[in-house]
Amino acid sequence: NAGVTQTPKFQVLKTGQSMTLQCAQDMNHEYMSWYRQDPGMGLRLIHYSVGAGITDQGEVPNGYNVSRSTTEDFPLRLLSAAPSQTSVYFCASSYRTTSTDTQYFGPGTRLTVL
């Protein structure tokens, strides 16, 4: 299994540009989520999905859209990038949505918005 994969690894955008961060998992996990990591703030949840066709907002959803058309993929879209979205983005997944399940993280995408 490849686990959780993310592309690209690095990206530089100009303010106002749009892009999609890709996330895929091959473990047949129901639950997938997106976090952003900022220095001294740990990871904050952006959006999550409990299964194909179902998504919901996390702590910091503004400026981001998601969709979950398949179990494997959970892309994160930035419609109009802003410098405040400069961050490292992590995708995570777990087998079920129960509280005890361990979440597995991808390697991250480092995004810079100029």
Partner 1 sequence: AQSVAQPEDQVNVAEGNPLTVKCTYSVSGNPYLFWYVQYPNRGLQFLLKYITGDNLVKGSYGFEAEFNKSQTSFHLKKPSALVSDSALYFCAVRDLQRDAGNMLTFGGGTRLMVKP
Position 2, amino acid: A
Our finding on whether 87 is near partner 1 (CB under 8 A) is: no
| Cβ nearer to partner 1, comparing 14 with 41 | 41
Our finding on whether 56 is near partner 1 (CB under 8 A) is: yes
| Cβ nearer to partner 1, comparing 11 with 17 | 11
The correct pick among 11, 17, 19, 50 for binding partner 1 (CB under 8 A) is 50
Our finding on whether 101 is near partner 1 (CB under 8 A) is: yes
- Stretch in the footprint of partner 1 (CB under 8 A) among 17-25, 45-53, 61-69, 71-79: 45-53
Query: Which residue has tokens 């047949």?
Result: 28
Our finding on whether 67 is near partner 1 (CB under 8 A) is: no
Closest Cα to residue 30, out of 10, 9, 8, 54? 54
Burial 53-78 (b: 16+ CB within 10 A, else e): eebeebebbeebebbbeebbebbbeb
